[in-house]
Structure formats: structure tokens, C-alpha cells
Amino acid sequence: MINFVPRRRLFVVFALAVTLTATAAAENLEFRQCVATALVQNPDLGISRAQIEQAEAGLRQAQGNRLPRLNLSLTGTRSNDALNAFGMKLGQRNATFNDFGAGEFTGPTALGVAPQNLNHPDAVDNFNSRIEVQVPVYNGGMVQSYIDTAKAYVRAAQSGDEMARQQLTKNILMAYQGVHTARAYIKVAEEGRAAAEEYVRITEKLHKQGMVVKSDLLAARVNLEDVKVKLLEARNAEKSALNQLALLLGQSLDEPLDVGAPVTPSLLAGSEAALRQQARDGNAGLRALRNQVEASGAQVGAARAGKLPQFNVMLRQDWNDKSIGLSAPSYTVAGVLSWSAFDGGVTNAGIDRAAAARAELVARLRQAEEGIGYQVTDARRRALEAEEKVTARVANLEQAREAQRLVKKRLENGMGTLVEVLAAQAQLDHAGADLVAARYELAVNRAELKRAVGVLSAETL
């Protein structure tokens, strides 16, 4: 008996299904949206942003050394030490002749008497309120060297952040296209499974007719199971690529995610020599190293400043009282000129150490420049090679498809063997997989060329 669902109930069930499907739908992001999201949420970029903030704070700290320093202090003291007690009374403008033991002086014959009040005073309380200004006047260029060092580190951090952004863009492309590549493998595997199922059906039919032996039927079934395993691997690869993309975007793996249309970067125009020169001028990693070299040169200048004289001015206003207050004001003005005439070679050793550090960075920069030149040449060569591969793989796929059709026809007519059919199908599957791989390789190598040159972004892809 057939049961009919009431129309209203059917509508409710349909509406609920649509609602649940919309709720569970994965977020579909185009490539540019993926890059924009990652630039905000990716943890690695959070590290590079923190490094920029550290460098900028170091610059502000270095620039602050140029300015005067204002110190405020309040010091409370209680002492019966003879020198300190008398000094605090003087500071309070409260010293009297009696503090010298004047009452014990009876004439020239008392010159050898030790005054009790002077040598054994009562404890004295003193509160010293102080405002002190220290003004740097000349330091041999040390402060300016520190500022130049900090500025160079800021530029290095900014270049490092740009390099991280370009590397992240490439990684997103690899994961994003990895999803499409895995889905292309899935399509190839599903076509292979359909063909394998058809071979099993045909072989079973021919086996019943006595046209093939049982081993052929078993081989067809084994082939079907192999194709199912490849399909499972392709589906797992799709999930893995989506997980990698989610990690790059800074999203939870539990959050549904899907990708938009596939992207294929354009080939960067220019000769190898021109692209290598462009990379030397524009690669963010090289700029970061150059800024580090500049910073190390400024550090050499800071070390050499230790051999020059320094002059600073100090202005101070004091108040001393038995309690907290502003009684007994006094001021002090001092200029201090210092010059380290001999320090056992410490300053010279510091200069040599800074110069050696700079020489190391210069060597690293030269090595990196040569490495970038090689990366550009290699990436361009691989990108051009991938273009040839794609063209060849397309032709191979068409030929393999036609060969598989002809062999299958022969088998259906009882003129071919299952071995020939399976070989032709394997060749077709291999050709399809090769084309998928070639297209992925083309996208990655073109992106790598732009990254090496230093122009990779979602907008210039």
C-alpha cells in the first residue's frame, strides 16, 4: 500500500531540509578573499607584526636618548652619624655654633677637647625633595648611531613582513589549488571507477558466454578495488588541502570551508637577466638583509663613539626639611666632560666585533643575492617547462581516451583481451592524473617566480 504525505507536512519537511542545508553549507571563499582573510588572521603574520612593533619601539627608545631627562625624588633619612647629621643640618640651614660644641670651648686651653655635640650628635631627620635635569650635549655620535641602527631595523622588519606576506600568498595558492587538484583527481578516479565497474560487467557477461576465463573476471574485480582505493586517496587529499587552507586562514578545522573558482597565475614577462635584476632590486628578503647590513654599519659607528669624549650638563634643585616640605632651597649646576683615555682595549675590541658582524652580514647578503638569482632562473625554467607539459598532457589524454575506446570496443566484440583493456584504462587514468599534476605545477611555478622576484600578491597573481 502506498502512503501519501499530507501537503502541509511535506512543505514543512522541505523547508526544514533547506534550512539545515543552508546552515551546514561551507563558507565559499574566492582566492582573493582567502588571501585577505589570512593577512588578518594568520598567526605567522602576527609574529611579523609584533617584530615591527618591537623595532618601532626600539627606535622611539633610541630617539629618547637625545632628550633631557627629568628626575623627581623624595628621600627620607634619619641618622646620628656625625658627618651625615651635621650635613643634614647644614642642608636644612639649621646648623648652630652649639653643633660645633661651642659651649665646651673655654679658651685656647680647650683646643684639644673633642666637642660632644659635634662628635656624638643626636639623630637628625631630613626629607630631601629634588628635581634634577640631565641634558646630553655631546656623545661622539653614539646616540645618532643608535637611532640609525633602530631605523634600519624598522625597515628590515617591514621588509620581513612583506616577505612573509608573499610567502603566505604562495602557500595559500598551493592549498587553494590543491583543493581543485584533488577534486580533479577525484573526477579522474570516479571515471576510472565507472570504467572498472563496466569492465567487471562486460567480463562477467563474457565469462558466462565462455569467451573469457575466470582469471580475467578476477583481474577485473581486483582492478575495481584498486580504483576504489585511489578514489578514497583523492578524497582524503581534498580534505587535507581544505584543512591546510583553514590553518593558513587562521580558522578552526571544525568550521566548514570551501573554495571558489580555480586560479592560474600569469607568467611574469621579461628575460632571465631582467627578472634577476628586478629580483635583486625588489625582493623583500634581500631588502631586509640590506637593512640589517646598514644597521650593523651604524653599530660600528656606535662602537667607535666610545673613543670620543662625552659632555653632559646637570641641573638640580633641592629642598631639605625635618618634614616633607620645600624649605631650605638650593641649586646645583654641573657640566661633566669625560673621556676614556685607556680601557684595556675594550673599546677597540668592541669596534672589531661590530665590524666583523657587519662583514658576516655582507657575505650573507652576497650569498642571498646569488641564491635569489638562481631561484628566479629555476622558477622561470620550471614555469616554461610546465607550460610544455600541460600542452603535451592534453594531447596524451586525448590519445589515451581514443585508445581506450578502441580497445574496449574490441573486448565487447570478443576480439580483445582484458589485459589490453586494463592496460589502456591504466594509461588513460595515468594521462588524466598527469594533466592534473601539470596544471598544478604550472600554477605553483608561476607563483614562485613572482615570489622570487618580489611582486607576488593576490592582485598581481
Residue 6 banded pLDDT, cuts 50, 70, 90: very low
Tell whether the model's pLDDT for residue 331 goes beyond 80. Answer: yes
Most confident by average pLDDT, 27-31, 124-128, 216-220, 433-437: 124-128
Give residues with Cβ within 8 angstroms of 161, minimum separation 6: 45, 48, 49, 51, 52
- Hunting for cell 583527481 — which residue is that? 185
Q: Is the pLDDT of residue 22 over 50?
A: no
Q: How confident is the model at residue 413 (pLDDT cuts 50, 70, 90)?
A: confident
Cell triple for 404: 581506450
Report domain extents, the chain.
26-66+141-311+347-453
Q: Is the pLDDT of residue 414 over 80?
A: no
Per mean pLDDT, which range of 210-214, 356-360, 386-390, 444-448 is the poorest?
210-214
pLDDT tens for 160-200 read 999 999 999 999 999 999 999 999 889 888 888 888 888 78
Say yes or no to pLDDT of 214 above 50: yes
The superfamily in CATH containing domain 26-66+141-311+347-453 is Outer membrane efflux proteins (OEP) (1.20.1600.10)
Q: State residue 429's pLDDT score.
A: 81
CB atoms within 10 A of CB 63: 15
Taking the CA atoms of residue 273, residue 274, residue 280 and residue 284 in that order, the dihedral angle to the nearest 10 degrees is -130
For residue 347, pLDDT beyond 60: yes
State if pTM tops 0.85. no
Rounded to an integer, the average pLDDT of 140-154 is 94
In this prediction, residues 368-377 reach a mean pLDDT of: 94
Residues of the chain with pLDDT > 70, as a percent, come to 93
User: Above 60 in pLDDT, residue 21?
Assistant: no
Segment 369-396 shows an average pLDDT of 93
Per-residue pLDDT at 8: 39
pLDDT score of 177? 93
Sign, CA dihedral 438-439-442-447, equals negative
Tell me: pLDDT of 7 over 60.
Answer: no
pLDDT at residue 27 in the model: 67
pLDDT band at 420 (very low <50, low <70, confident <90, very high): confident
Q: What is the pLDDT of residue 433?
A: 85
Q: Which whole number is the average pLDDT over 441-446? A: 94
